Amino acid sequence: MFQQRVLIVGGGLAGLAASMKLAELGVQTSVMSLTPVKRSHSVCAQGGINSVNELTRQEGDSEWLHLDDTVYGGDFLQHQPPVKEMVDWGPRIIDLMDRLGVPFNRTPEGFRDQRRFGGTLHKRTAFAGATTGQQLLYALDEQVRRWQSAGRIAMVEGWDFLGPILDDQGRCRGAVAQNLITMEIRPFPADVVVLATGGCGLIFGRSTMSMASTGSAASRAVQAGARYANGEFIQVHPTAIPGADKLRLMSESARGEGGRVWVPRTPQDPRPPRDIPENERYYFLEERYPTYGNLVPRDIATREIFDICVNDGLSVDPEKPCVYLDLTHIPRDELDRKLGGILRIYEKFQGVDPREVPMKIFPAVHYSMGGLWVDYERSASGGLAKGSPKTHQTNIPGLYAIGECDYHYHGANRLGANSLLSCIFSGLFVAPGIQSMLGSLSDSASDAKYDPLMQSAQADHQKSHDKWLQRDIGGDNPYLIHLELGQIMTSAATVVRHNRTITEAIEKVNELAERAKKCSLSDRGNWTNQNVIFTKALIDMFPLAKAILHGALARDECRGAHYKPEFDMPGIESDDPAERHRQAEEWCTKFEEKNKKWLKTTIAVLDGKGEPSLGYEEVDISLIPPRPRLYGLVGAEIIEEVWKEQHAH
Amino acid sequence: MNQPTVSFLARHEFLIRRLHSLTGIVPIGVFLCIHLAVNASVIEDVTAFQKAVYQIHSLGGLLPFVEWALIFLPILFHGILGVLILLGGSSNTGDYPYAENYRYLLQRATGLIAGLFILWHVFHMHGWFHFRWWIDGIAAPLGGALFRPFHAASTAGAALQNGYVTTLYLIGILASVFHLANGLWTAGITWGIWTSPNAQKKIWRFCAAFGIILAAIGTSALFGMRHAGKSETFETIQGIENRMYEIRVELGDIRSSEDKRS
Amino acid sequence: MTTSGKPASFEVRILRQDAPGEPSRWERFRVPYETDMNVISVLQKIAANPRTIDGRDVAPVAWESNCLEEVCGACTMVINGRVRQACSALVDQLLADRPGEIELRPMSKFPVYRDLVVDRQRLFRSLVRVRAWLPIDDYSDRGPGPRQSQAEQEQAYPLTECMSCGCCLEACPQFQKVDLSEYGEGTSDEQRNAAFDRSFLGAHAISQAMLFNGHPIGKTSAAERLDALMAEGGIQVCGNAQNCVAVCPKEIPLTTSIARAGRATTIHTIKKFFDH
C-alpha cells in the first residue's frame, strides 16, 4: 500500500484549519511554516469574526443578507457561490471555535456577545477581547498539536517553501523547501500541496502585516505557472500607527466605540491637541459624511484621511502625514473595558496614553483581496459542491491555495471581520475535496519512481542557492532595494492611483528588479543565513509587484479599494428634479457600461521572461445582481431611485 | 518508556517535594516554635525552663527515638533535599531585582545557614550521639556536648558566653526563623491555600509578623540563656537546679543519674 | 521618558555566536538615532549596514521576528539584562534607562542557533506534556460550546493570551537549560523529547494546564493534566521566585495559575490515595 500525504504550506488560520480537518479525516498531513505556527500572522487580527447569529436573525438578518453585505462591500468582484457557502457555514464555524475553547466575550446571561463592524447594519461580529485572531489561531494550534502528538500531523517548522515540484504532466508532486537554520534544501514529496501562505504586504515595505508576509510563496507558485488573480486589489486600512519598522493596526472598533477623526483647521497647529478649541478642529469625516460619520467604509475613510494630509496639507505632524483619532472624550474605565487591548498596544509602542492624548494615525496596507487563482465547483443551490476536488485548486493540478493567498470571497474590498471567517472556512471546506482528490490518484509521490523528479528539483534549487552564496561583494544592498520597492509601490499602488504614476512605477520596478538580481550578500555563510533567505524572498516580490502594477494600470475604473480619480463617477449635483433624474439615468447607464467592461477578474500569468501578462474572466454574479455602491455619494438617493425603477421587474 | 532508568527520586519527585514542604512545617517548624518558646522561658524563670526539660526527659529511654523520629530525621531529610533543590536553581537577582526573587534567594541562603547551624548546634550542645565513648572521646574534646539536662539553663548559658558563639547563634536563629516564616508563605502557595496575588500579599504580611515575633522570642531565648550562664548568676542557678534535682530524686520521679554532672 | 537632548547616535552591544557549540563574542555597532525607533528597527539598520564600531564588515546579526506588535512572541531576547520582546523595546526608553548604549543577548535558557536566534522547541513540548488542548469529539456541527458566565470568560481570557514567548522561563531561577550535547550530532526527536520531559515544565505550561482544566470540556481530562503536572519536572520544581509574573509581557497571572495548580494537585493526590 502506498502512503499518500498532504503538505500544507503556512500555519495560520487557513493552514491549521485544513490540517486539523484532514487529520480528522485520516489523511497524513505535514504542516510547513517559516515560524512555529503559533507565531503566524493571524495573531494580529483584532476585531472579530462575522456570522449571522440568533440575535441578528431576530432583527431580520439572514445568511443571504451576510452574502449581500459581503458582495456589495466587495463591489461585486467576487464569485458569489463561494461567498454563499462561506456565510452559510458562518454560524457553524463560530460554534466549532466556541467548542474549541475560544474565549468569546459573553453576555451577562452567558451567551456569546457580538459587536457591530463596518459595512453592515447587524451585530454579527463575535469577538474575544481585542485579540480575536490570536485566540482563534491558538485554538487551532492546540488541535494541531493534539494530532501531532497522536502522530497524524508532522510539523515542518522553520522551513521556507522554495517552489512546487511538477511532474512531466504538470501535476504537483510535492515541494522543495529550505531549512532556515541549517540551510538544508530538500524535497518534500506530497500528493497534494496546499498553499496557505497569507498576504504580500512586505511588497509595500511597511504595512500592518508580519515579517513573514512577503508573498514569496505565492510568487514561487506563480513562477511555476500558477495564475494570480485580482492582484491590484489591496486593502489599505484607514487607521494604523506609523512606526519605523511597521505600521501597527488600530482596529476599526476604536471608531466603533465612538472615536472621532480630526485635524486642526490651521495647518500643523503647534498647540497640544487638547488645547485646540472645538471650533478650530476639522472633523472632516463627520462633516463630509453626515450619515456615516467616522464609520464610513474602509476604502472611503482611507481616501479621505489620505486626501486631507496629502492634498489639503492638513497633516497634524509636519514631518509625517497623520491625523488625530480621538478617544479622550470617552471615560477612562469605559475605554479600558472595551478597547483595553489595542490601547495598550498604542501606549506600549508610542509611549503616549491614548486615553489622555489623541492618537496619531495614518492609513496602511493591510490585506490582499487578490491572490492565487483557484477554481470552485458550484452546487445546484448556488453554493459550493461538497467534497469537490476542484474547489480551491489552482490551475496546477494537485496545488491548492486557501486563506489570504487565494483570491476568493472579498472581491474589490474586504469587510472587517470577514477575513477570519474566510480563512477558517476555506481551510475546513477544502479538506474533504482534497481527500477525494487523493482517492482519485493511483500512486503516491513517495513512490520510488518519483525519486529522480525529487532529486532533480532539489538539485536545481541547491544550485541556485549555491550561486547566491558565491556572489561577488560590492553590489546593491538587498535591504535598501526592498526599501525602494516599498516606497515605489506605496506611492503608486495604494490609496489613489494615476495611470501616469503607475506607468512610471512599472519602469522603476523593472529596473529595480534587474538590480535586485545582481545584488550582493553581506553574509555568505551557510548557517542560519537570513541575508540570503531575505534576498531570495525579495527577488520573488517582483513578479507579484509587477502583477499588481499591471493589473492596476489596465483597470481603468474605480472599484472598491482600486481608486483612480480620472475614472471616478461623480455624484449628482443638480438641484432641479428633472435634471437630477436625467443625470441619474445617465449615471446608471455609465455604471452598467463600466460593469460590462470591468466586472471581471484580472488574471495574471508570467510569460517566459517572467513578465506578467493579463487576461480577464467573468465573475459569477448569479445570486445577487450588481448594483451601484453609493456610500456617501452626493445624490445617492436619486441614483438609487432611478436604479430601482430601471430594475423593477 | 524508559521507566527503569528513571531514578526513585525522579519518579516520586512530586511526593518527595511535598513531603519536604510538609516536614518544614510539621514537625520542624512546630518544633522550632516550641524549642524557642521553651528556651525563652528562661527569662522569666529558671525553674520553669528546667521543668520543661524534665518534662521532655521524662520520656526516658524513649527520648532518643522520639528525637530521631520527630526531629533529627525530618531535619536531615529536609536539609539534604534542600541542598538538592538549591543545586537545581540559579539565582538571578542581579537582572531581576524583585522582592519575591530576593526572598527566593534568601530562602535558599537561610536554609543553608540554618542547616549548617543546626548541625553545629546539636553537636555543640548534645554532641550528636549519646554513646559514652563518643561523648567522652570525641565530642567533648572537640568542644561539643556542653548541655546537661539537669542543669539546663546553667550549662546552656555557660556554652554561650563566647561572643563569637553568640553571634553565630543569633545568625542561626534568625536564618531559621526567616526560613520558617517565608517557607510558611511559599508552602501556602505550593499546597494551593492562598492563590491570588492579593491573598498572597496579605498572608505575606501575616508571615512577616509571625517571623518578627518568633525572631523576638528566639533572640530573648538566646540572650536569656546567655545571661543564665554568666559567672555572676551561674552559681545561683546551679543551686536552684541542684535543689530541683534532689527533690525529684527523692520523689522518685527520676533516678539518680550519671548525667547529673556539673 | 525621553529627554530633550537626544543623541546623534548610540552604541549597540550584541552577544554573537556563529553556530551551536561555537564560542560567543561581543560585537559593538554604532547606530544613528532616529525618532520612534525600537530594537527591531535597530537590528534592521545593522542588517542593512553590518559594520562594527572598529570598522570591520561582519555578517548581519541573525534574529527572529514576525508580528512586530507583541502578539507573536518571536522576537524575545535579553535587552539590557532583562528578557522581553525586541519590538516593544523602544529605544528612547532604553536610552533613558541606560544612556548611550543598548545591550542585546540571546535568551540563556535555550540553545543558541545563531546570534539572537535560539531553539525554543522545549517550550512547545511542554504544551504537549500537559495536553494543552480541548479533547472535543470531532469537528462536525454539534451546536455551540457550553454556556459560560462572564466571570468564567474573564478568568480564562488572560491565560489564553500566552504567546509562548518564553520570558517566564528565561527569568525563572528554577528553569535550567537542557544540555543535549551528550547526544552528539544527530539527536533524535525521541531523545530530545525524553530529555525535555524530565526537565521543568515552566510557568507557561502550568498556566495552560489550569486554563484547560477550568474549561467545561477540558474538565473531562483534568486528571490527565494534573498527572502531567505531578510527573518529573512538574509543578513541584517551582521555587516561588515569582519572576515569571513580573516579566510576562501579557501580564498573565502566572503565579495564580501555579497556586491553583498546587491546590488542584493536592486534592488530586488525596483523591487518588483514597479512591484507588
In chain C, domain spans: 9-114, 120-275
Instruction: Provide mean pLDDT across the span C47-65.
Output: 95
C-alpha cell recorded at residue A633: 455619494
| CB within 8 Å of chain C, chain A residues 43-72 | 43-44
Q: What is the DSSP secondary structure assignment for residue B4, as one 8-state letter?
A: G
Whether A43 sits inside 8 A of C68 (CB atoms) is no
| CB within 8 Å of chain C, chain A residues 469-498 | 477, 479-480
CATH for the C9-114 domain, from 3.40.50.300, 3.40.50.2300, 3.40.50.880, 3.10.20.30? 3.10.20.30
The amino acid that residue A353 corresponds to is D
Q: Which residues does chain A have within 8 Å of residue C74's beta carbon, measured at their own beta carbons?
A: 35, 39
Which residue in C78, C232, C239 is closest to B89 by CB distance? C239
For the domain covering C120-275, report its CATH number.
Answer: 1.10.1060.10
A410-456 confidence digits (pLDDT tens): 999 999 899 999 999 999 999 999 999 999 999 999 999 999 999 99
Burial class (CB in 10 A: 0-12, 13-18, 19+), B253: exposed
Burial class (CB in 10 A: 0-12, 13-18, 19+), B77: middle
Question: Which stretch of A225-239, B36-50, C128-142, C223-237 has the lowest confidence by average pLDDT?
Answer: B36-50
Which residue in C62, C132, C144 is closest to A142 by CB distance? C132
Q: How far apart are CA B41 and CA B48, in angstroms?
A: 7
Look up cell 525602494; give the residue: A484
How many inter-chain contacts (A to C, CB under 8 Å) are there? 193
Of the residues A22, A105, A152, A348, the best mutation for testing chain C's interface (the one with the most C CB atoms within 10 Å of its CB) is A348
Whether B85 sits inside 8 A of C234 (CB atoms) is no
Q: Which residues does chain B have within 8 Å of residue C196's beta carbon, measured at their own beta carbons?
A: none
Instruction: Map residue A6 onto helix, strand or coil.
Output: strand
Of the residues A93, A522, A529, A535, the best mutation for testing chain C's interface (the one with the most C CB atoms within 10 Å of its CB) is A522
| CB within 8 Å of chain A, chain C residues 238-257 | none
Q: In the prediction, which pLDDT does C2 show?
A: 41
Confidence class of residue C248 from pLDDT cuts 50, 70 and 90?
Answer: very high
C94-119 confidence digits (pLDDT tens): 999 999 899 999 999 999 999 999 99
A473-484 confidence digits (pLDDT tens): 778 999 999 999
Count the neighbouring beta carbons within 10 Å of the beta carbon of residue A507. 12
| CB within 8 Å of chain C, chain A residues 553-572 | none
* Minimal CA separation from A395 to chain C, in Å: 29
Instruction: Provide mean pLDDT across the span A38-57.
Output: 94
Confidence class of residue A618 from pLDDT cuts 50, 70 and 90?
Answer: very high
CATH for the A569-646 domain, from 4.10.80.40, 1.10.569.10, 3.40.640.10, 3.40.50.1000? 4.10.80.40
The residue that leads in pLDDT, A123 or A368, is: A368
- pLDDT of B233 > 90? The answer is no
Look up cell 483570491; give the residue: A407
Confidence class of residue C1 from pLDDT cuts 50, 70 and 90?
Answer: very low
ipTM beyond cut 0.85:
yes
Question: In the predicted model, what is the mean pLDDT of chain C?
Answer: 94
Q: In the prediction, which pLDDT does A583 show?
A: 94
Using alpha carbons only, give the angle B234, B237, B239 rounded to the nearest 5 degrees.
110
A188, A456 Cβ separation under 8 angstroms: no
Q: Is B258 inside any structural domain?
A: no
Q: How far apart are CA C76 and CA C107, in angstroms?
A: 8
Instruction: Provide mean pLDDT across the span A24-37.
Output: 98
Q: How far apart are CA C212 and CA C129, in angstroms?
A: 13
Question: In the predicted model, what is the mean pLDDT of chain B?
Answer: 92
Which residue in C65, C135, C144 is closest to A211 by CB distance? C65
Of the candidates A255, A298, A378, A559, the residue annotated as catalytic is A298
Q: Which residues does chain B have within 8 Å of residue C173's beta carbon, measured at their own beta carbons?
A: 89-92, 101, 104
A313-333 confidence digits (pLDDT tens): 999 998 889 999 999 999 998
Whether C240 sits inside 8 A of B195 (CB atoms) is no
B235-250 confidence digits (pLDDT tens): 888 899 999 988 888 8
Look up cell 525563572; give the residue: C172
Q: What is the DSSP secondary structure assignment for residue C105, as one 8-state letter?
A: E
Q: Which residues does chain B have within 8 Å of residue C171's beta carbon, measured at their own beta carbons?
A: 92, 95-96
Number of structural domains chain B divides into: 1
Whether B13 sits inside 8 A of C232 (CB atoms) is yes
Q: What is the DSSP secondary structure assignment for residue A113, as one 8-state letter?
A: P
Distance of CA A389 to the CA centre of its chain: 24
Q: How far apart are CA B159 and CA B168, in angstroms?
A: 12
The amino acid that residue A266 corresponds to is T
C-alpha cell recorded at residue B71: 526531629
The residue that leads in pLDDT, A320 or A486, is: A486
Q: Which residues does chain B have within 8 Å of residue C81's beta carbon, measured at their own beta carbons?
A: 94-95
B70-113 confidence digits (pLDDT tens): 999 999 999 999 999 999 999 999 999 999 999 999 999 999 99
Residue of chain A minimizing CA distance to C149: A110
C35, A349 Cβ separation under 8 angstroms: no
Q: In the prediction, which pLDDT does A338 show?
A: 75
Please indicate whether the domains covering C9-114 and C120-275 agree at the CATH topology level.
no
Confidence class of residue C3 from pLDDT cuts 50, 70 and 90?
Answer: very low
Burial class (CB in 10 A: 0-12, 13-18, 19+), A24: middle
Q: In the prediction, which pLDDT does A486 show?
A: 97
Q: In the prediction, which pLDDT does B257 show?
A: 62
Q: How far apart are CA C60 and CA C47, in angstroms?
A: 5
Please state, for a pLDDT cut of 90, what percent of chain B lies above it: 70
C-alpha cell recorded at residue B50: 528546667
C-alpha cell recorded at residue C239: 521555587
Domain limits, CATH 3.90.700.10, in chain A: 237-363
Give one DSSP letter per residue of A454-506, joined into a string: HHHHHHHHHHHHHHHHTPPSSS--HHHHHHHHHHHHHHHSSSS--HHHHHHHH
Q: In the prediction, which pLDDT does C127 show?
A: 98
C252, C203 Cβ separation under 8 angstroms: no
Domain limits, CATH 1.20.58.100, in chain A: 471-554
Q: What is the DSSP secondary structure assignment for residue B162, as one 8-state letter?
A: S
- pLDDT of A121 > 90? The answer is no
Q: How far apart are CA C172 and CA B138, in angstroms?
A: 45
Of the residues C79, C154, C155, C236, the best mutation for testing chain B's interface (the one with the most B CB atoms within 10 Å of its CB) is C236
CATH 3.40.50.300 fits A471-554, yes or no: no
Instruction: Provide mean pLDDT across the span A628-646.
Output: 89
Which CATH number belongs to the domain containing residue B121 in this structure?
1.20.1300.10
Q: How far apart are CA C230 and CA A282, in angstroms?
A: 62
Q: In the prediction, which pLDDT does A487 show?
A: 96
Q: In the prediction, which pLDDT does A612 show?
A: 97
Q: Is B256 inside any structural domain?
A: no
Which residue in B11, B89, B197 is closest to C174 by CB distance? B89
Q: In the prediction, which pLDDT does B58 show?
A: 86
Closest CA to B223 of B163, B138, B133, B178: B163
C-alpha cell recorded at residue C134: 480541548
Q: How far apart are CA C228 and CA A270, in angstroms?
A: 61
Q: Is B34 inside any structural domain?
A: yes
Question: Neighbouring chains of A at 3+ CB pairs within 8 Å?
Answer: C
Residue A298 annotated to the active site: yes
Q: How far apart are CA A609 and CA A130, in angstroms?
A: 46
C62 reaches B (C-beta below 8 A): no
Instruction: Provide mean pLDDT across the span A74-102.
Output: 98
- pLDDT of B228 > 50? The answer is yes
- pLDDT of A129 > 50? The answer is yes
Distances (CA, A) of C241 to A457, B22, B115, C171, C188: 53, 19, 21, 9, 34
Q: In the prediction, which pLDDT does A351 show?
A: 87
A352, C93 Cβ separation under 8 angstroms: no
Q: In the prediction, which pLDDT does B262 show?
A: 41
C203, C186 Cβ separation under 8 angstroms: no
The residue that leads in pLDDT, A575 or C206, is: C206
Half-sphere exposure of B4 (CA within 13 A, CB side): 0
CATH class name, domain A6-233+369-453 = alpha beta
CATH class name, domain A237-363 = alpha beta
Q: In the prediction, which pLDDT does B1 show?
A: 39
H-assigned helices in A106-161:
132-149
Q: Burial letters for C47-58: b for 16+ Cβ neighbours within 10 Å, e otherwise?
A: beebeeeeeeee
Q: How far apart are CA B85 and CA A390, in angstroms?
A: 61
Look up cell 537590528; give the residue: C43
- pLDDT of A505 > 90? The answer is yes
A135-163 confidence digits (pLDDT tens): 999 999 999 999 999 999 999 999 999 99
Distance of CA C116 to the CA centre of its chain: 14
Confidence class of residue A290 from pLDDT cuts 50, 70 and 90?
Answer: confident
Closest CA to B226 of B34, B42, B37, B38: B42
A19, A8 Cβ separation under 8 angstroms: yes
Which residue in C78, C173, C262 is closest to B91 by CB distance? C173
Strands A114-115 and A125-126 come out as: antiparallel
Look up cell 534532689; give the residue: B246
Whether B189 sits inside 8 A of C240 (CB atoms) is yes
